[in-house]
Structure 1
């Protein structure tokens, strides 16, 4: 369940509020949480119109750990917030908005985060849920996935699997776009979810290669995070771009040329150190291959959902299916 609403004038504020309440009701959230959702999207949407002129709000259901509910992402390309500390103070407003303040929004959220760089827009995350326990065991995960404009289905897919202190992530891009690409990607995810617990990323790729030969094929990456060994293992085939950022160090992950299900060569796996604060980011080619973190100071300190949405906002090519998945060690 997901909807993205563009904001270009004041009429959009009422529309996004209605959609948020309707989605909260559909998710079975209480009347109090429905009111929280209405407050948050109204303030966020009003701020976008007043300070940025235009932007968008994405409403989506989420399930993470013991927490499930409604996720709100507000994005704009406006002037940004110069003083976040003041903006988080109750009653603070420089443009005639509700003055609820980011502090009030935070208190009405099970999870709240914000990222803003002066001159480079603002991104806000709020989750509405009964539980505040929203992290998987040792991990936070965020993703953004959209079909090619004009297409009803997305040819990209991703999957998550966790057993104890081990987490597996798969990212797929079915060749081309549309239903046939989606068939290849989704079948690959199904095989990934049934892999043996002892399998390494390269083993999973080989299983998928055999299992999707009747489809048009896909490019694919698999990552295995082991918090006990403080390591991440990665293997990819095709043009999936992946990195691991740890503090000031960034490790670029190398995929093997080829197509899973068609002409997969010998896979070259790689291992990277993984510790608290490490961030894994992987994207399909719907994002520019030149995306980087250089003009996003402090972004990796934010929640993975914000990281994914900010990078999508700034680097999506709008010419193909696009997916970005982010995993952060907690």
Structure 2
């Protein structure tokens, strides 16, 4: 175990490698974080209001609560970084701020995957409701939680040791988890491609308001934003660590605020202002076993009703 010259006694130890955004300062970061704090508070209030209004109308749409949760996570992130800016040598604040930076965005990844899966089930019910696919998607949700736990554990471990081997192991764990999260961020693109480019399914159905293409475009846009964010984080993580006094462009405060906040707010705006609570809503009544739908393409048998077992649980909420 060796201890770098300027490392304060600990643990925990402040990082000696350059970090994206660097150590926050009162003069630069606090005003920027104050603006972001106000924005996230506004979005949190908006999404909770949408949920409560819908709830009173028996229009239950839980993704609105997840958007509220994302906003609350980012509010906490801003508060922690403001506190860190006033106590720059406090390693515990640095740890907490770093964890929330990486954790909050996962909610957007999950929402994109959930909505893309819902579109796929509607567009290709005869194929998408195979048990293996359903189990796979649920397994991916579990692995997202696992990846988050890995990142948190490795981050804390790297702050509490100076042993180079242990730090290398922690870095390897972080790289594996961050790469997996990049895969999760991009996966909705594959689901959308299958939904819209595969041959037409005669049992295709719609849900919510507006066209299916508009729903697909919304998820395409938010997924692309999340892929950029996840790709930036993965790219920075895989780069060779640089000394704290020799940062690269991707360690700058500009890069930090663009890739960690600006793009996230853009995705949050798309989700909120396009009213996904209306576009992606499916009444609970359609989730019962044995639902039947009329085939619209059978002109000679207009009154015939066919059971579509592949659509069972189609509308299951988060």
Give the TM interval when normalised to the shorter protein: under 0.3
1 or 2, which has the higher strand percentage? 1
Larger radius of gyration: 2
1 or 2, which has the higher helix percentage? 2
Task: Name which structure has the greater RCO, CA cutoff 8 Å, separation 6+.
Answer: 2
